[in-house]
Amino acid sequence: MIEFNEFSFRYREGAEPVVRDITLSIPDGCFVGITGAAGSGKSTLTYAINGIIPHCYPGDFYGSVTVEGCDTVDTSLTDLSRLVGSVCQDIDSQMVSTVVEDEILYGLENFAVPREEIPARVDEALASMGIADLRDRTIDSLSGGQKQKVAVASVLALHPKVLVLDEPTAELDPASSVTVFDLLARYAREHGTTVVVVEQKIALLSDYADMLVIVDEGRIRFADTPDAVLAHSEELLALGVNVPRSTTLMNALSAQGLYAGPTVRNVAGAAAALKEVLA
């Protein structure tokens, strides 16, 4: 679905490329988590997928990025928007209407979705995010988590083949973060949507992603299954990635030959593994 081929990009105002020599294949229907230290180039990768680079942020573009065979340089931003739905980190800046239903209608009307399809799409999008009861609420009366779900619903109503989200849980508590990821994962399974999420919470990503991508100083250091990536906990910590302590503990025991099981991602997994180690 998404192909990066030796992609590098330098923003016009920058002295050096922000990302360098990125080669990555993301299969159709894959749930991908991208993480890394601040300033590593994570958001730039999402901008390359949805066409913000180079159509909105000019600079030096090398290599290629394609989405479902469409080169993002040669394809207009409007056409890319039909393929890729984006939810930015600053949700308030993305809202264009004052009422929830109008927010979802806005994109449908702008993309000239047939009038007879619109009511069903609005209902489906609200139901997918579990916010049907918010239909008539004003945007400014919603909590941060509710606004996040409205933003995602407004994009899902367009039936994108790719959904890109930049730090979708940055302002959410742990319970709300899990709820958002549950809804995203369920929607992706039911519709075969490719999901790309930039997120600092690697433990959360690991529970949902099919592939984890670790970016460091503009380059991809790891791109593999969550278990395969988390097995390198010491290297990840050195890169500024906040690996769960439970993972670090069990990896240390594994290095000493005391544990030979699968990679541990959370406290519950570590507790179960330690019972076996201490038995």
Residue-range domain boundaries for the chain: 2-243
**Model confidence band, residue 48 (pLDDT cutoffs 50, 70, 90):** very high
- The residue-averaged pLDDT of 105-119 equals 91
Residue 134 has pLDDT above 90, yes or no: yes
CA distances from 49 to 65, 92, 158, 166 (A): 7, 22, 17, 12
* pLDDT (tens digit per residue) in 166-207: 988 877 788 888 888 888 888 888 889 999 999 988 888 988
Q: Which of 7, 15, 28, 163 is nearest to 73 (CA)?
A: 7
Range of weakest confidence among 131-135, 156-160, 175-179:
175-179
Write the CATH number of the domain with boundaries 2-243: 3.40.50.300
Q: Which helix (H) or strand (E) holds 36?
A: strand 31-36
Residue 222 has pLDDT above 90, yes or no: yes
Q: Which of 158, 25, 32, 149 is nearest to 84 (CA)?
A: 158
Residue 60: per-residue pLDDT? 94
Residue 279 has pLDDT above 80, yes or no: no
Identify the residue with better confidence: 180 or 72: 72
**Model confidence band, residue 229 (pLDDT cutoffs 50, 70, 90):** very high
Whole-model pTM over 0.85: yes
